[in-house]
A and B are shown apart, each in its own frame.
Chain A
Amino acid sequence: MIYLMLFWAFFKVGAFSFGGGYAMIPLIEKEIIDIHHWLPMQEFLDILAISQMTPGPIAINSATFVGYKVAGFWGSVMATLGVTAPSFLVILILALLILKYRHLPLLDAFFKGVRPAVIALIVQAAYSVGRSSFSGVKDVILALAVFVGLYKLKMNPLIIIALSAAAGIIMY
C-alpha cells in the first residue's frame, strides 16, 4: 500500500528531525533514496533545490513534491500529513503541559532564562542566512533599503519581501 508507506516514511522524517528543515534533508534522502528507491538521486536533488525556492518549510515542500512524484495527488497529501503528524502530537502535548503549568515558579524561571537565548537563536539565524547572501555592494544597498522601509516607512514585511524579490530581478 503505497499511500501508507509514504505516510510512514515521512512520519519518521517528521519525528526524528530536530532543528528545522535542513536537519530533515539527510533523513528524507535515507527514506526516499536508500530505503525505498522511490526516486533517482538527480531528481531528488532537483526536488530539494525547488523546495528551497518555493515558499514554506522545506519539509512540507519536499514531502508534497516526493509524494506527488511517487503516487500522484493523494501521495502528496499522505506524505504531507505524515511529515506534519509527529509535530502535531508532540507540540499539542507540550502546549497542553506548558499552558497548564505556566504559573509554576520553576517553569517561569526556566523561561526567563530561555528568552535571552532565543534572541541569540534569532541572531544566529540572521547570521547564517547573511553569511551566504552578502557578497557585494548591491546586497548592502538592498539591506539598507529594507532597513529604511521597515523603520522609517513602517512597511509590512510581506510587502518588503515582495519588493525585494522584484528588486533582485531588476538589480542582479
Chain B
Amino acid sequence: MNKKLSPKETLLMFWAFFKIGAFTLGGGFAMIPLMKVEMVDKQKWIKEEEFLDIIAVTQSAPGAVAINSSIYIGYRLAGLLGAVIATLGTVLPSFLIILLVVMFYADMKSNKYVERAFKGIYPAIVVLILAAAINLWKAAFRDKTGIAIAVIALFALIVLDIHPILVILISGLAGIVLERARAEQGGDEK
C-alpha cells in the first residue's frame, strides 16, 4: 500500500523537491543523482529497486522526466496532494529564477561567469550521474541475464540510437520471457 507521510514529512518532501529543482542543471537526467540521495539514501522513502522502476515509467511517459518523477514519487508518498506538492517543489525554483531573469533581463547568454560556471558543472554532473548508476547497480542485477540486458541496452542506446522507450519495453518483455524460462527450469527439476 501507499506509504502516507505526516504533514511535517510532507513539508520535508516539498523542501527536498525544491532543492532538486534548484540544483538540476544541464538537463533532466542531472536530477537522478539528486533525487536518489534525497529520496532513497537520506529519507529512505523509496527503495532502490522501486527508484529504478520509477525512472523507467517516467522516462516512457510524455513530458519532462524531472517533473514526471516528482509527480509519481509525490503521489506514491502522499497521494494526490503529495503529487501536487512535489511538482510545485520541483517547478517553483525554475519558475522564480526565470521570472527574475525576464524581469531584469539579466543577459545570461553572454555572461562570462555563467558560461565558466557551466564548464565546471558539466564534468561534475557526468561523475554524479555515473555514480548514481554505480550505486543502483546492485539493485538492478539479480544474475548474469541482468548484465546481458544492460550491455545490450547500452549498445542499443548509444550505437544503434534506438529510442529509450523502445529499449525499456523490449527489456521488460525480455524480463517476462526470462522469468517464464526460469519457472520452466524450476519445474523440470522437480
Q: Which residues of A contact B (CB under 8 A)?
A: 14-22, 24, 46, 49-61, 64-65, 68-69, 73, 76, 80, 83-84, 86-88, 90-92, 94-96, 98-99, 105-106, 108-127, 129-130, 132-134, 139-140, 142-143, 146-147, 150-151, 156-158, 160-162, 164-169, 171-172
Output the least CB separation between B183 and chain A (Å).
9
- A-side contacts of B76, CB under 8 Å: 95, 99
A116 touches which of B23, B124, B126, B146 (Cβ 8 Å): B146
A168 adjacent to B64 (CB under 8 Å): no
Cα distance A84–B150 in the bound complex, in angstroms:
31
B140 adjacent to A118 (CB under 8 Å): yes
Query: B81 interface residue, CB < 8 Å from A?
Result: no
| Contacts beyond the supplied A51-B98, A111-B56: 10 A-B pairs with Cβ under 8 Å | A56-B93, A64-B99, A80-B91, A91-B57, A121-B153, A124-B154, A126-B129, A133-B119, A147-B131, A160-B124
Chain A residue at minimal CB-CB distance from B120: A168
B172 adjacent to A76 (CB under 8 Å): no
State the 8 A-B residue pairs at the shortest beta-carbon distance, nearest first.
A113-B175, A168-B120, A56-B94, A133-B122, A87-B63, A109-B179, A164-B124, A125-B29
Chain B 107-136 interface 0/1 with A at a Cβ cutoff of 8 Å (1 = within): 011000110111111111111111111001
Cα distance A98–B72 in the bound complex, in angstroms:
10
Cα distance A64–B67 in the bound complex, in angstroms:
14
B150 adjacent to A119 (CB under 8 Å): yes
Most buried by A among B64, B71, B167: B64
Most buried by B among A22, A90, A109, A157: A157
Cα distance A118–B102 in the bound complex, in angstroms:
37
